[in-house]
Amino acid sequence: MSPVNEEGKASGRIPGTDRRTVGPVVMGPTTRQERSLAPDLARGSVLLFIALANVSFYLYGRPSEHALRPSDGSDLDRSLDFVVSFLIDQRSYPMFAILFGYGMATIARRMTARGATLGGIQRVLVRRNLWLLAFGAAHATLLFLGDILGAYGLTGLIVVLLLFSRVGIQKAWLAASLVTMTAFFALNSLPNSAPFFESSNYLIAAAVRLGLWLFTTVAIAVVIGLLAPMIIGIWLARAGLLDHPWDHVGLLRRLALGGVAANLVGGLPYALVVSGVWDVPAGAAIALGGLHALSGVAMGLAYVSLFALLAARRPRRRGAVAGLAAVGERSLTCYLLQSVMLAPLLTPWGFGVGENLGTAQAYGIAASVWLVTVVVAVLLAAAARRGPAEILLRRLTYGRRDHALPGPSPVATPT
């Protein structure tokens, strides 16, 4: 059954929408007054996780084992490898995918409330995801082979088809995604003694990066590895868990505790393997790697729930909360800015600092880069400006609009 009502408007499949036409249709992006604090907090924090997870891609010149970690690391290196593997690796991308699905559902809900038709909503979302795919191609070609924007964009096109579908259909796709995702990451859990090495020639390195990006982006989309957390994000939006977290404290606590427990069972064994504490045969590494990836979805949901609980307790954008939220509002800009700083510094075609670098040092560099993005985001927030990448994506998606942030920072107040 088509999710449209008798007037051709998108139906109430996404709660919080109004079936009536509420004045002229406004196709523009979410205004700052409409933003919820919880997802912005989560996005701002997950970018630190992404920086820590991605920095291993830049290391070269030393033999590596599981998850691209050097096999001859110091005790400090291995200790931090354990922490990052247990709490961040394959947890940051599911977390961001949950927020991505939440964002798509929120766009659909708000466009419906403004009187948009189902076709209009789908066209906007398709256009947005296609441009994300283009952003990812440019990001990979120019800077970083581990780009994930393309995989989000391709998977997002599937989400457009599922967004207004019945919950039973979404559950079937979620189950299929969990199975294929687990198998995909399990097969990628074997030790890699020869990590990827970029050429010192920038043009050659760019061509190779683009080729690898095309393969990995299509592979992740084909195995629908990011679809399950995106569907979870849709359900969070429908339930209002991130928009009104103070009304769902009990459920959010249960989701957080359940995710942490799942991570303890599913994430701990492979983290011990990555850190070199536990030496296992190849077959066991595959099984543990799959379990690690599967529990990462649960831990990603736990992180989102924890930041929603923080937003419920501290609903005003002040101090550190304001800094994290500023990064979250400009997550695309800050994600790309990480590569702008890390790639020229660490790669062979740049300054080559990544050669023979220990993971403890690399994590320190990654955290410092994230802090720089926080400063940039706070300065942009003080000037009431969006990030340049957000301006470009919104203009390409919705057309020309005023990209200053009107009014003061919104205050999310429990009602």
pLDDT band at 34 (very low <50, low <70, confident <90, very high): low
Going by C-alpha positions, the residue among 84, 51, 68 that lies closest to residue 271 is 84
* 2 part of a folded domain: no
Report d(CA 96, CA 86) in Å as an integer.
Answer: 17
Out of 207-221, 337-351, 375-389, 395-409, which region has the weakest mean confidence (pLDDT)? 395-409
Rounded mean pLDDT of the chain? 88
* 20 part of a folded domain: no
Give the Cβ contact number of residue 409 at 10 Å: 18
Q: What residues make up the domain containing 83?
A: 32-398
Note the pLDDT tens digit of each residue in 245-286: 999 999 999 999 999 999 999 999 999 999 989 999 988 999
Note the pLDDT tens digit of each residue in 58-117: 998 888 888 878 888 899 999 999 999 999 999 999 999 999 999 999 999 999 999 999
pLDDT band at 11 (very low <50, low <70, confident <90, very high): very low
What totals of helices (H) and strands (E) does the chain contain, helices first? Answer: 15, 0
Query: What b/e sequence results for 38-57 when a residue is b if at least 16 CB atoms lie within 10 Å of its CB, and e otherwise?
Result: bbbbbbbbbbbbbbbbbbbb
Q: Is the pLDDT of residue 386 over 90?
A: yes
Q: Which amino acid is at 248?
A: H
Report d(CA 245, CA 41) in Å as an integer.
Answer: 13
Give the Cβ contact number of residue 341 at 10 Å: 18
* 22 part of a folded domain: no
* 10 part of a folded domain: no
* 59 part of a folded domain: yes
Instruction: Count up the domains in the chain and report the number.
Output: 1
Handedness of CA 393, 58, 101, 81 (dihedral sign): negative
- Quick one: what percent of the chain has pLDDT higher than 90? 76
What does the block give as tokens for 78?
A: 């291995």
Handedness of CA 46, 218, 291, 276 (dihedral sign): negative
Give the Cβ contact number of residue 382 at 10 Å: 10
Give, in degrees to the nearest 5, the angle at Cα 53 between 52 and 59.
85
Note the pLDDT tens digit of each residue in 166-216: 999 999 999 999 999 999 988 888 776 555 678 999 999 999 999 999 999
* CB distance 164 to 245 below 8 Å: no
* 113 part of a folded domain: yes
Report d(CA 400, CA 387) in Å as an integer.
Answer: 15
- In a 3-state reduction of DSSP, which class is residue 303? helix
Out of 52-61, 227-236, 294-303, 372-381, which region has the weakest mean confidence (pLDDT)? 52-61
* 211 part of a folded domain: yes
* 160 part of a folded domain: yes
pLDDT computed for residue 25 by the predictor: 44
Out of 120-124, 368-372, 405-409, which region has the weakest mean confidence (pLDDT)? 405-409
Give the Cβ contact number of residue 404 at 10 Å: 12
* CB distance 106 to 30 below 8 Å: yes
pLDDT band at 5 (very low <50, low <70, confident <90, very high): very low
pLDDT band at 413 (very low <50, low <70, confident <90, very high): very low
